[in-house]
């Protein structure tokens, strides 16, 4: 094979090779280091199962990690359900660091830094029961990130968020990626994907990748997306129509950006 066509193995963080499990038959995928990957598909497409395999929760020899980056379980954080062990935000953030044996000064610094990144500084002394849905998502992410994992696996965590909350969440995740965290997000819709800048999207159907690429390239395959049970996001559909009638100059997938374009 032409060397120019080969993936630089030093840039690959996770490799799934010839996976045959559930809907997957000889399935292969490579996740690049410091990338933001979105895996989408309808129910039973295999996306959640694939994330469990990548998290190492299923005993299989079909997955390998870049050992220069991931050398233990603590380097991987996996979020599949929002739950908390303690009744306050601060206790949930401190606990992982206490388990690692860090001293109090280091714990306080790491908690402060992580709270700032997830925009929850004002929530540190709050009780979990008093948080709204999006606040809980950010606090839970903070509890995973406070111990500085290298790989973050998120299984449909934006399911119940509003469009504006999803847009804000994708901005936070992009910031985390720019800080060196590799992120893989599964979603049952394409709505989260339209709010990312540097993501690669994989569309699964019955355990196979039927489409992959950058956001606009994937969204251009609307007939294929409909065929596998995915709908074109409302913002994309609306933006295309507004551009067609000359009301905006280009497709804008951000609600706030679209409002600004119309206002101008």
What is the per-residue pLDDT across 228-246, written as a single tens digit (0 to 9) for each?
A: 998 877 777 777 678 777 7
Q: Could you give the CA distance from residue 27 to residue 20 in angstroms, rounded to a whole number?
A: 7
Please list the alpha-helical segments (H only) found in 47-145.
47-54, 89-99, 104-117, 133-145
Q: How many residues does the chain have?
A: 264
Read off the pLDDT band of 157 (50, 70, 90).
very high
Across residues 192-213, what is the average pLDDT? 90
What is the per-residue pLDDT across 171-199, written as a single tens digit (0 to 9) for each?
A: 999 999 999 999 999 998 888 888 887 78
Q: Given this model, what pLDDT does residue 251 score?
A: 64
**Burial status of residue 218 (CB atoms within 10 A of its CB: 0-12, 13-18, 19 or more):** buried
Render 212-230 in DSSP notation, one character per residue.
EESHHHHHT-HHHHHHTT-
**Arithmetic mean of pLDDT over the chain:** 89
Q: Give the torsion sign (CA, 138, 139, 141, 147).
A: positive
Q: Given this model, what pLDDT does residue 177 score?
A: 94
Both tokens assigned to 192 = 């989260």
CB atoms under 10 Å from CB of 241, counted, come to 11
Q: Could you give the CA distance from residue 262 to residue 264 in angstroms, rounded to a whole number?
A: 5
Query: Does residue 5 carry a pLDDT above 60?
Result: no
Across residues 155-171, what is the average pLDDT? 92
Q: Could you give the CA distance from residue 170 to residue 183 in angstroms, rounded to a whole number?
A: 11
Read off the pLDDT band of 7 (50, 70, 90).
very low
Indicate left, alpha or beta for 203 from its phi (over 0: left) and psi (-120 to 50: alpha).
Answer: beta
How much of the chain, in percent, has pLDDT values that exceed 90?
66
As a whole number of Å, the CA-based R_g of the chain is 20
Across residues 223-232, what is the average pLDDT? 88
What is the per-residue pLDDT across 87-133, written as a single tens digit (0 to 9) for each?
A: 999 999 999 999 999 999 999 999 999 999 999 999 999 999 999 99
Across residues 62-80, what is the average pLDDT? 92
Q: Given this model, what pLDDT does residue 6 score?
A: 40
What SS3 string covers 152-197?
EEEECCCCCCCHHHHHHHHHHHHHHHHCCCEEEEEECCCCHHHHCC
Between 256 and 39, name the one with better pLDDT: 39
- The mean-pLDDT minimum among 47-56, 64-73, 82-91, 224-233 falls in 224-233
The residues, any chain, with a CB within 8 Å of residue 186's CB and separated by 6 or more, are: 38, 39, 40, 47, 48, 50, 51, 154, 155, 156
């Amino acid at each position: 094979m032409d060397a120019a066509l080969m993936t630089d193995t030093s840039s690959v963080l996770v490799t799934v090779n010839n996976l045959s499990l559930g809907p997957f038959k000889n399935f292969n995928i490579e996740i690049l280091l410091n990338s933001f990957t979105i895996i989408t598909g309808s129910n039973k497409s295999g996306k959640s199962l694939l994330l469990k395999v990548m998290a190492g929760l299923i005993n299989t020899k079909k997955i390998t990690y870049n050992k220069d980056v991931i050398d233990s379980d603590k380097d991987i954080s996996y979020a599949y359900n929002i739950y908390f062990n303690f009744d306050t935000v601060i206790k949930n953030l401190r606990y992982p660091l206490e388990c690692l044996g860090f001293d109090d000064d280091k714990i306080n610094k790491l908690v402060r830094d992580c709270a700032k990144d997830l925009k929850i500084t004002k929530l540190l002394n709050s009780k979990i029961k008093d948080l709204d849905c999006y606040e809980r998502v950010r606090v839970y992410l903070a509890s995973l990130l406070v111990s500085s994992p290298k790989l973050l696996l998120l299984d449909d965590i934006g399911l119940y968020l509003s469009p504006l909350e999803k847009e804000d969440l994708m901005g936070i995740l992009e910031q985390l990626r720019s800080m060196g965290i590799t992120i893989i997000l599964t979603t049952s819709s394409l709505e989260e994907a339209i709010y990312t800048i540097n993501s690669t999207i994989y569309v699964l159907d019955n355990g196979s990748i039927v489409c992959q690429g950058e956001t606009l390239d994937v969204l251009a395959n609307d007939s294929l997306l409909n065929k596998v049970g995915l709908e074109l996001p409302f913002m994309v559909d609306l933006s295309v129509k507004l551009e067609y009638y000359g009301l905006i100059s280009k497709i804008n997938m951000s609600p706030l950006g679209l409002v600004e374009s119309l206002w101008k």
